[in-house]
Structure 1
Amino acid sequence: MQQTMRWYGPQDGVSLEEIRQAGASGVVTALHEIPVGEVWSEEAIRERLGIVHNAGLEWTVIESLPVHEDIKRRQGNYKLYIENYKKSLKHIAACGLEVVTYNFMPVLDWVRTDTFFVNDDGTRTLRFEREAFMYFDLFLLRRPGAEDDYSQEEKEQAAAYGDSLTSDEQQALFRTVLLGLPGSKESFTPEKVLGLLKQYEGIDDEKLRENLYYFLGEVAPLAEELGLKLAIHPDDPPFSVLGLPRIVCSEKDIARILDAVPVNANGLCYCTGSLGANPDNDLPAILERHGDRIHFLHLRSVAKEKEGVFREAEHLSGDAPMSTIVYKVLLLMNKRGHALPMRPDHGALFTLEQNREHFSGYSLIGRLKGLAEIRGLEQGLVYAFDNVPM
């Protein structure tokens, strides 16, 4: 596997030097400073490429080229934003990059209710708890219509959960759920979120799915022509939040998306954490059945504590059968004849870094540990099964 780490650009608290010293051969990054919907110029892409190359690293995978909300809703200036997306793809291809990761999650990119959950060993990790989220939705955000999405029992559970929190804990929950886009240091405001939610009124799963197919019908053939791979990231978490539609939660969802626009450029970012939070997903089976359309790997594990509660676990523990997954990745790469880019997605926060600036889930030591474990697992499997080449 091509072993990479995510880097958020010059504003990242983790440096390229540290990423190289961790053992990664490259980074996955993006031009986070460019507003969503605007065109990425060749000049800006090449400037970032130069910074990465001067640090002795490679950059072949973009994570992410965001999709504007107008495109997801297929309203407003969606045609303009699709044309801008196409222009960006042309510039990206001209600069020699290979994979473009994106997602189609409305409003919120990913959601957790705790970004500092304390593990038994004292490290801290990301966690989602349904009762906490229900309390946020019903009593902190006070989303119009939220009461209709929950049973009476659930509303009582949410109220009881809120009663157990101090005022500071309530505010911490509020800030955590409203974290901004990855790479951004600005959080969403309640007013902005409620305004965006209102724009999605009348858009259910089927409508959002149709909008995704329309978008892919416009951009995937161009990507194929340019030699680029598009990799859609699964929804995180893989179920509806804030009453919003979700359409990349299961293997059935994935199959529908890949079948809708049957060109190889229309592919998947195989995230074992996001997909693994859905107990119905068989992670090795998804690899086996859709391996030809997997263009990027996010390897991490989650521990599902009970229904509606999961936390991010160590890369080789939790519920993801990582040994089986990596072995099947090796078989897939052997079949395809080339290595796939991989990053050890997220990582625990160690005591040494608790006072250091970082993006949630992206401190250095936890990801270094995950990278070392995945590399060791890969090397061990290659040694044990000499019929599986590097």
Structure 2
Amino acid sequence: MGFRWYGEGNDTVSLDQIRQIPGVDTVVWSLHHKAAGEAWDQAEIDEQVARITGLSDDARARGVTRRLDAEVVESVNVHESIKLGRTVLGRSRDEAIENYRTTIRRLGRAGVKVVCYNFMPVFDWLRTDLWHPLPDGSTALFYEQAVVERMTPESLIAEMEAGAGGLTLPGWEPERLASFAELRAAYEGVTHEDMYAAYRYFLEAVIPVCEEHDVKLGVHPDDPPFDIFGWPRVVSTKADLARVLDLHPSPYHGLTLCLGSFSANPGHDAVDAVRTFMDRIHFTHVRNIKHFGNGDFTEVGHRACEGDVDTTGIMRAYAEAGYTGYVRPDHGRHLWDENTTNRPRPGYGLYDRALGAQYLLGAWDAFRYAGPPGA
């Protein structure tokens, strides 16, 4: 079980707090100040790993002995030149790929086992309200289809920046958004087939390095799983996931199967996806959403009955298969003082993700030790 952490000085949640969540062993981290296409420095990687896996003098003085590992990175972002297959934003595809290969080598030396990434053009995840009120008084991320249909990309960028509360939003990095006009022009006329071809080129260059340094790559599904503003998304449907996996046969090429992102399309069956792709799922995010029938959806608590994602069935599928990869609770509601005095990064507060971890672990334990159906 993992827990995403954005780093010292960049997160309202501390490592001390994560260490106190029962069952959480892995800190899911990144070097968030690194721009897409830039090689990560070995010294910075080692420093962050040491910070996560070590104990401060203060913690030792308080009798703390429990340690965390740093085996999962989310994310090493893919430069737009790689997705487009040509030079953009001042960097060529091959230069960006070589920097990615260098980063994988250095992460492998530091003991990292899985790297999450995505292949979404221009924008990463998208919501229209970062603090949408729920009936219980909490707030959560919300997607309203009609708002997206009437918004321009430029107005959406402004909304996201305003709602971030001064914290960085992965996938909405300022240096990338500052060059939005260039990116928008670069993607004109780009097709899904163009994206798949560029994706194959990337994998053929990077996967051999992953195999050499024992680092698995897990691609994150598109969020939400359909085209946005006419830009082609290629990791949206079950058929897309199968096609992406067919781009390279190596077991080091796999999925970060985010069941919340995948389930944002109400026609998708999350449990079926888990059972279908089990042997290629290196990392998984489990969260719940509720659909409203008009394209809108909101994120809710992790308990299955709170929304439309069968989180219990998902954990049953993992338990019955003896899954040995990594899992984390995903976007949580903002609870209690997080809506007032200690506002976190949207979706990444402490309390609801900690509650989610316990719910997921409880389901895992119940099914793992009960044995298969009928046993």
TM-score by length of 1: 0.85
- CA distance 1:173–1:20, change in 2 (3 Å): closer
Q: CA RMSD in A?
A: 2.5
Matches within 5 A, 1:164-313: 172=159, 175-176=162-163, 182-183=169-170, 192-313=179-300
Gaps in structure 1 of 5+ consecutive residues: 144-170
Partner secondary structure for residue 306 of structure 1: coil
CA distance in 2, matches of 1:360, 1:200: 28
**Distance in structure 2 (CA, Å) of the matches to 1:312 and 1:250:** 20
User: Does residue 89 in structure 1 map to residue 104 in structure 2?
Assistant: yes
Structure 2 residue aligned with 1:362: 348
Return the alpha-carbon distance in structure 2 between the equivalents of residues 25 and 295 of structure 1: 16
Closer, same or farther: CA 22–301 of 1 in aligned 2, 3 Å: same
- 2-side partners of 1:186 and 1:267: how far apart? 25
Aligned-pair CA distance for 1:175? 3.8
Alpha-carbon contact 2:291-2:298 (below 8 Å) kept: yes
State the one-letter code of the partner of 1:136.
M
Asked if 1:57 corresponds to 2:68, the answer is yes
Map Cα deviations across residues 224-277 of structure 1 (whole Å, 9 max, x no partner): 232211000000011111221110001100100111111101100111100011
Aligned counterpart, 1:74: 85
Q: Residues of 2 paired with 1:205 and 1:359: CA distance?
A: 32
Offset, 1:186: 5.9
Aligned to 1:99: 114
Distance 1:94 1:53, change over 3 A: same
Aligned in 2, Cα 1:211/1:86: closer, same or farther, shift over 3 Å? same
Give unmatched runs, 5+ long, in structure 2: 56-66
In the TM superposition, what is the alpha-carbon distance from 1:185 to its structure 2 partner? Answer: 8.7
Matched to 2:352, the amino acid is G
**Any residues of structure 2 matched to 1:324-363 within 5 Å, and which?**
324-333=313-322, 339-354=324-339, 355-363=341-349
The one-letter amino acid paired with 1:314 is G
Q: Which residue of 2 aligns with 1:119?
A: 134
* Equivalent residue number for residue 128 of structure 1: 143
CA distance in 2, matches of 1:134, 1:351: 33
1:124 deviates by 0.2
- Call closer, same or farther: CA 1:362–1:106 in 2, change over 3 Å: same
Change (3 A) 1:246 1:27: same
1:372 equivalent in alignment to 2:355:
no
Structure-1 residue corresponding to 2:61: none
Instruction: Please give the alpha-carbon distance, in whole angstroms, between the structure 2 residues aligned to 1:350 and 1:118.
Output: 11
Distance 1:110 1:246, change over 3 A: same
Shift of 1:68: 0.6
Deviation at 1:180, TM superposition (A): 9.0
SS in 2 for 1:28: strand
| TM-score normalised to structure 2 length | 0.88
1:9 paired to 2:7: yes
Residue pair 2:26, 2:72 contacting (<8 A) in 1 also: no
CA shift digits 1:278-314 (9 cap, x unpaired): 1232211211221110000100011111232111121
